[in-house]
Amino acid sequence: MMRWRQGRVAAVRKEWRGATELDVTTPDGQMFQALAYPGLVGRPVPGDEVLLSVGALDLGLGTGGYALVVALPSRLPADEPTAGHMVKARYTPLQTIVDGAEERHPELAKATSVDGMPVVVADLHSSVPAVLAGILKARPSARIAYVMTDGGALPLWFSRTVDGLQTAGWLTGTVTVGQAFGGDLECVTTHSGLLAARHVLHADIAVVAQGPGNLGTGSVWGFSGVACGEAINAAAVLDGRPVAALRVSSADARERHQGLSHHSLTAYGKVALARADVALPDVPTEFWDGVAAQASALSERHTVVRVPVDGLDAALRACPVPLSTMGRGLDEDYPAFLAAACAGRLAATVMD
């Protein structure tokens, strides 16, 4: 069920690409940190009346601690014409009409191949900057596209990480697929998103991951990262070179995510039917030996590749955005980011 609050904008705190952070006060004196997407609700200013959705916030879920602005009831945004007729977040109150790349770019009508483009697949959005660090360490001039799936946040605008990566020039462009929206290009499926990355953005490498946040239930199959296996299949069907980033942790308190996460074993070991290169950091320590033993379960279906880690520490520390996964920074869960960076390095080595 939805949970609502009404209030007024007390202050505009900060803005990034597509999103505005606000302080909102309610009639009973409560203060909420709220997030508005001007592309959906208009641009808030102090004094505006706002309608907030606070359901996920009340449940303590992964909204970054935000209430979300549903509308500015007294000041609705003007209707904006659009050339497209693709609808995302379909049949929800905030469904949005986007200009689909499949409609706008005629070259996608007949495209069937990404011409051997490496495609790095990662479970968590937090892996994306680390993957890019690994790619750019090996190939500083690589053109990289981020293909965001809809397992986490639907609006790409929610991601300060992507805003920072694009501002720094680490990303050539973004593609949002499925019900996700807000990318430089909008596509229907992961397949057409990869084709758009290659033929419209002219990417050398694509990185596929869900938006910020994810959905998990603690069950074997009930988690949004299952889509990683489907992304491996999509890359292979389109003549790409799939590279799998392992989800690894040395700090997660949950047993199922310690070492190599069961999510990676399920998505790559059961869902992915096409062969991929699986990046494994080549580090002679007890922890990484344990991860290698866990990853051996993937070796019949995929090629597990030991990746050298020299220079990757500096590359990660030079990242233009903060590195954080499940609230843990680089030094708090170092293996999580090193595994992602190794996937990026591996993809760069097969770029030709």
Q: What is the pLDDT of residue 251?
A: 75
Cα separation, 70 vs 41, in Å, equals 7
Of 322, 226, 231, nearest to 276 by C-alpha is: 231
pTM: 0.95
Any idea which of 33-42, 101-110, 254-263, 280-289 has the lowest mean pLDDT? Answer: 254-263
For the chain, percent of residues with pLDDT exceeding 70 = 97
User: At residue 65, does pLDDT exceed 90?
Assistant: no
Q: What is the pLDDT of residue 254?
A: 65
Q: What is the pLDDT of residue 83?
A: 75
User: At residue 262, does pLDDT exceed 90?
Assistant: no
Do residues 6 and 50 lie in contact, with contact meaning Cβ atoms separated by under 8 Å? yes
Q: What is the pLDDT of residue 221?
A: 84
Cα separation, 317 vs 323, in Å, equals 9
- Secondary structure (H, E, C), 286-298: HHHHHHHHHHHHH
Residue type, 27: P
Q: What is the mean pLDDT of residues 320-337?
A: 93
Residue 283: how many other CB atoms lie within 10 Å: 17
